[in-house]
Amino acid sequence: MLMLIMRHELLLVLITVILLLVELVLPAHRKQKIILPSLILFGAVMILGFLPGPAGTLFGGMYSTTPLTLLMKNLLTIGMFIVLLQSVDWLKKEENKEKISEFILLLLTTLIGMEYMLSSGDFLMFYLGLELATIPLAALAAFERFKEKSAEAGVKLIFTSALSSGILLYGISMIYGTVGTLYFDEVINGINGAPLQILAFIFFFSGMAFKISIVPFHLWTADVYEGAPINITSYLSVISKGAAVMIFTILLYTVFSKVTIMWKDVIYVTSILTMTIGNLFALRQRNLKRFLAFSSIAQAGFIFLGIIGQSQLGMTTVMYFVLVYIFSNLGAFGVVSVISNRTGKETIDDYDGLYRTNPLLSLTMMLALFSLAGIPPIAGFFGKFFLFTAAAKQGLYILVLIAVLNTIISLYYYLLVVKAMFLNRSDRPIAYFKSDGYSRLGLALCVAGMIIIGIYSPVYEFINRFTFGIY
Amino acid sequence: MNILLLLIIIPILTIIGILFTRDNKKVRVVSAIGMTFQLITAAIIIIWYLAERHAGNTAEVLFASNWVWYETLNIRFYIGVDGVSVAMIGLTAMVIFAGIFASWDVDDLPREFFTFLILLSSGVFGFFISLDLFTMFLFYEIAVIPMYLLIGIWGTGPRHYSAMKLTLMLMGGSALILLGMLGLYFNSNPDGGPFTFEILKIAKAHIPLNTQLFFFPFLFVGFGVLGALFPFHTWSPDGHASAPTAVSMLHAGVLMKLGGYGCYRVAIFLLPDAAHKLAWIFLILTTISVIYGALGAIWQKDLKYINAYSSVSHCGLVLFAILMFNETAMNGAIMQMISHGIMTALFFALIGMIYGRTHTRYINEMSGLMKVMPFLAVAYVIAGLASLGLPGFSGFVAEMTIFVGAFQHADTFHRVATIIAASSIVATAVYILRVVGMMLYGKINKEEYELITDAKWYDRLSVGTLIFGITAIGLAPLWLSTMITGGIGPVIEKLFLAMN
């Protein structure tokens, strides 16, 4: 029964092993056959994750789950499922045929890492989970290794994450030095804002900021996002970032709860910087992957508004926004991915006149971009609005003002893409094509998510039930 | 079931109907049917409302329904109407009905055109029936966003530029509103208990003066952007000039009224003390709007620009009157919203029809049109006369009430502002009569104009509806005036308390 506490991870490990074994017996020319079983298995894991089960601690407090972490894991598996669906078309390409199972297995491994990270009860476990989540991603970023940019992305990712892990670890070791323990429960009582702890926090924060790509630690993002295969980019910008944001929020709310004065200003300033700089850089991008990279940097800045809300409201809004963000951003990336797979076109100018040839894809893209921009009645509006509410509750109206003005900047560049698709005419638009069933299913899930999550308020209330007592 | 819900359900059903219509030509028929039902519903609501009031129902809002939406945040879907919102619903239904017929010959992507147009109108209806700030804001943005595509795809001239400018400026306004709204929310219950977005509850809370002074400018300017408050009006001429006919009609006729209505219902009603303290700043700005719009219109040669500047002037007058804080002027402000809404929709409809026949909008290129299209020309004259405030039309009733109300303030500042604003009537007469004289009378200056045909049945229906509106209000304003007075009562009362 105790093992049920760890059911998410164990199930994932189980299907990873099964898939490895299947991979062994599959003949070389039939590697494609692994796609459907892995989707079915993963779908089963996703559904099983929602079944009620026990929560508690294992291994003397190294590993612990709460209803909240279980919910977070479920959100991540939903996102992961959509990413897998969107990858199928790309995996079936001739040059990837040999590596299909590697792709799936590596992705599953990173997810296992993230889930351990979310459930960690001490800094060591947290660090292990983080590394398990990061290193396979570098391999995935360099997946198309014959493309120069992809190789470059892999190298950049591994270097920056090594650096950030080093910084993070340094911070953790300083915390250990002042408190004498790594268990979260005990660290809480030991943290009192001593100078060395402030330094430790700054190191810890910088390390996490690399992972979430907060300004000024965002410089790797655009190149990696552009070079990596699109599905990896969407995974990086949604699932990986979402997991890092979630655990970061939890740590701030629990471990560093007694010294909010220490981190509040840091979050305040980085939030403004991240939103503004992310937005300003996004304005000038023509490549859609880079464009979405900078837009996702800006979105992280908005998430910080919820974190700074430091209340149950703050936690709920962050979780809710991440959920909305998963569907919206995956929707946008899904369309980019489908079009890139079929035509190889990735710039905004290529999308000129897309609506007249591929109306459904254009509408999906528009919906996703409007959701990212926060236009009602799509879910993104509610996500942003609640983040602003969380910050306003603390009386930080100036911050909210800067944030709402930033949404206008972001609306401008999202509208540029809408303009290309709907308003512009082109002599040679992307011809009509029928996308594959998996992508369509993935996009349909995203659209359904974007529409339902906002209007259907029980989703928010459901999340709110689990965030009770975190702060 | 609440009858007000129909105002949102009918547009949604119409949109679904449009999406399932096979034939592109039939799309407009489906839209017309849907909006006819909408007009009938609006008429029923008005009659029912008047009957309820006549029967002695004195509740602050009628047909109210209050559902919880987001429980933890106490966000509600709270709908209901008072005299003012009923009047605005009637206006909107009339303009969208006329707008559908005015765009009968849209042939580029008609399905999308009507979908976005009706979506926009559903946002407007939702805005007017909302009594909860959250849903009000939500519908506000739904009303603004389709505008980008409508102007960008089906517009004329520098349409991409205008569409982007309009959208960004209006969304910028809504960003300010959002901040003000959150400020109201977190001050909505100073005595403890849950916070609320409900307008009627916030109105009962006593918000400290300093808080009010901080948030009032955000709300007033935020809504003021949409109400063409100087110097945030610059989206309006470009946007109106580039938009397709029905969109100009709806935008100038109804959407700009969202600004005035928001200033009245949210900014002034909920923050009355700050309104009193800061009124002078905005009074100066609105006076500039009024006179600047009127003078600007004189210089323009493009019919749509003339009317767009005239809208800035007339909508400025709405905000001007709201800031007078007395019953007469406030009544006039609402009357002006209705009157200008119908009138400007009529103007834009006619301009669209004239442009469709002469292929130019420059008044110096047209002459003698009265001879070839008497129906449209006469309608244009009627609209013009209503615009310059000729008795017998709605414009006179509204402007007269406003200036009488404004003149009740005996101090020099208000007197000067009123006199300057009133002088805009003269400028209005200049630009209206100039257009009528140059464009409609005289000799026909081009041969091809001889072949122009007069209005088709759908043009006549569209124009006829609107002319009926302005003359009906002009000749029998009392029922409307009484209805509005009932609605503005609580606002005036609150302002009166704040003054002392």
Helix axes A195-212, A148-179, angle to 10 degrees: 160
Residue B245 CA neighbour count, 13 Å, CB half: 24
Task: Please tell me the predicted confidence (pLDDT) of residue A112.
Answer: 92
Select from A376, A393, A401 the Cβ nearest to the Cβ of B186.
A393
| Interface test mutation site (partner B, options A397, A416, A468, max chain B beta carbons within 10 A) | A397
B160/A423 CB distance under 8 A: yes
Provide the terminal-to-terminal Cα distance of chain B, rounded to the nearest Å: 42
The enclosing H or E element of B67 equals strand B62-70
Select from A376, A400, A415 the Cβ nearest to the Cβ of B164.
A415
Q: Which amino acid is at A289?
A: K
User: CA A453, CA A445: separation in Å to the nearest integer?
Assistant: 12
Q: In chain A, which residues have pLDDT < 70?
A: 1, 469-471
CB of B277 within 8 A of CB of B289? no
Helices (H) and strands (E) counted in chain A, each on its own, are 20, 2
Q: Rounding to the nearest 10 degrees, give the CA dihedral for residues B263, B266, B267, B271.
A: 150
- Say if A63 is an interface residue toward chain B (CB within 8 Å): no
B71/A418 CB distance under 8 A: no
> A214 in a domain, yes or no?
yes
Pairing mode, if any, of strands A63-64 and A57-58? antiparallel
> A471 in a domain, yes or no?
no
Task: Please tell me the predicted confidence (pLDDT) of residue A276.
Answer: 92
Q: Which amino acid is at A374?
A: G
Other residues' Cβ atoms within 10 Å of the Cβ of residue A232: 32
Provide the terminal-to-terminal Cα distance of chain A, rounded to the nearest Å: 29
User: CA A294, CA A406: separation in Å to the nearest integer?
Assistant: 13
The enclosing H or E element of B70 equals strand B62-70
Which residue carries 């992705």 as its tokens?
A107
Task: Please tell me the predicted confidence (pLDDT) of residue A366.
Answer: 92
Select from B69, B148, B178 the Cβ nearest to the Cβ of A415.
B148
Which residue carries 């009645």 as its tokens?
A377
Select from B73, B138, B152 the Cβ nearest to the Cβ of A376.
B138
User: CA A174, CA A180: separation in Å to the nearest integer?
Assistant: 9
Which residue carries 């909860």 as its tokens?
B132
B167/A389 CB distance under 8 A: no
- Say if A321 is an interface residue toward chain B (CB within 8 Å): no
| Interface test mutation site (partner A, options B19, B67, B73, B189, max chain A beta carbons within 10 A) | B73
- Say if B12 is an interface residue toward chain A (CB within 8 Å): no
> A231 in a domain, yes or no?
yes
Q: Which domain holds residue A305?
A: 2-466
Distance from CA of A445 to the nearest CA of B (A): 21
- Say if A196 is an interface residue toward chain B (CB within 8 Å): no
The enclosing H or E element of B77 equals strand B75-81
- Which residues of chain B lie closer than 8 angstroms to A411, CB-CB? 167-168, 171
The enclosing H or E element of A137 equals helix A123-141
- Say if A455 is an interface residue toward chain B (CB within 8 Å): no
DSSP-assigned states of every residue in A331-352: HHHHHHHHHHHHH---BGGGGT
DSSP three-state, residue B216:
helix
User: CA A167, CA B474: separation in Å to the nearest integer?
Assistant: 75
* Torsion sign (Cα): B434, B437, B443, B449: positive
What's the maximum distance between 2 C-alpha atoms anywhere in chain B?
A: 75
- Which residues of chain A lie closer than 8 angstroms to B150, CB-CB? none
**The total number of structural domains that make up chain A:** 1
A388/B138 CB distance under 8 A: no
The enclosing H or E element of B80 equals strand B75-81
DSSP B208: -
Distance from CA of B487 to the nearest CA of A (A): 29
Structure tokens at A204: 């810890």
CA angle A273, A277, A281 (to 5 degrees): 170
- Say if B164 is an interface residue toward chain A (CB within 8 Å): yes
**Among chain A residues, CA nearest to B142:** A376
Select from B71, B73, B163 the Cβ nearest to the Cβ of A389.
B73
* Torsion sign (Cα): A176, A179, A181, A182: negative
User: CA A224, CA A136: separation in Å to the nearest integer?
Assistant: 14
CB of A229 within 8 A of CB of A90? yes
Length of chain A equals: 471
| Interface test mutation site (partner B, options A419, A425, A468, max chain B beta carbons within 10 A) | A419
CB of B168 within 8 A of CB of B238? no
- Say if A178 is an interface residue toward chain B (CB within 8 Å): no
Task: Please tell me the predicted confidence (pLDDT) of residue A22.
Answer: 86
Whether the full predicted model's pTM is greater than 0.95, yes or no, is no
Q: In chain B, which residues have pLDDT < 70?
A: 500
- Which residues of chain B lie closer than 8 angstroms to A388, CB-CB? 178, 182
Reference A251, options A385, A193, A243; nearest CA is A243
- Which residues of chain B lie closer than 8 angstroms to A460, CB-CB? 70, 72
Distance from CA of A453 to the nearest CA of B (A): 12
Task: Please tell me the predicted confidence (pLDDT) of residue A470.
Answer: 64
CB of B196 within 8 A of CB of B74? yes
For chain B, give every domain's residue range. Answer: 3-499
The ipTM, to two decimals, is 0.89
User: CA B248, CA B245: separation in Å to the nearest integer?
Assistant: 5
- Which residues of chain B lie closer than 8 angstroms to A407, CB-CB? 171, 175
User: CA A23, CA A102: separation in Å to the nearest integer?
Assistant: 9
CB of A335 within 8 A of CB of A361? yes
Sort A469 into a burial class: Cβ within 10 Å, 0-12 / 13-18 / 19+. exposed
> A318 in a domain, yes or no?
yes
